[in-house]
Chain A
Amino acid sequence: QLQLQESGPGPLKPSETLSLICTVSGDSISSAYYWAWIRQPPGKGLEWIGNFYYTGTSYYNPSLKSRVTISVDTSKNQLSLKLNSVTAADTAIYYCARQSLRSLGGFLDFWGQGTLVPVSS
Chain B
Amino acid sequence: QSVLTQPPSASGTPGQRVIISCSGSSSNLGSNAVNWYQQLPGTAPRLLIYGHNQRPSGVPDRFSGSKSGTSASLAISGLQSADEADYFCAAWDDSLNYVFGPGTKVTVL
**How many residues of A are counted as interface, with CB atoms below 8 angstroms from the partner's CB atoms?**
24
Interface centre among B32, B97, B102 (most CB of A within 10 A): B97
Indicate if B62 sits at the interface (CB-CB under 8 A). no
List the A residue with the shortest CB-CB distance to B6.
Answer: A45
Q: Mark B37-74, 1 if CB is under 8 A from A, else 0.
A: 10000011111001100001000000000000000000
List the B residue with the shortest CB-CB distance to A110.
Answer: B47
In the assembled complex, the Cα of A102 lies from the Cα of B34 at a distance in Å of: 11
* A-B CB pair tally, cutoff 8 Å: 70
Interface centre among A106, A109, A113, A114 (most CB of B within 10 A): A106
Known: A45-B2, A45-B88, A45-B103. A106 touches B45 (CB 8 A): no
Contact B103 A105 (CB under 8 A): no
The residues of B that contact A108 with a CB separation of less than 8 Å are: 35, 37, 45, 47, 90
In the assembled complex, the Cα of A114 lies from the Cα of B88 at a distance in Å of: 17
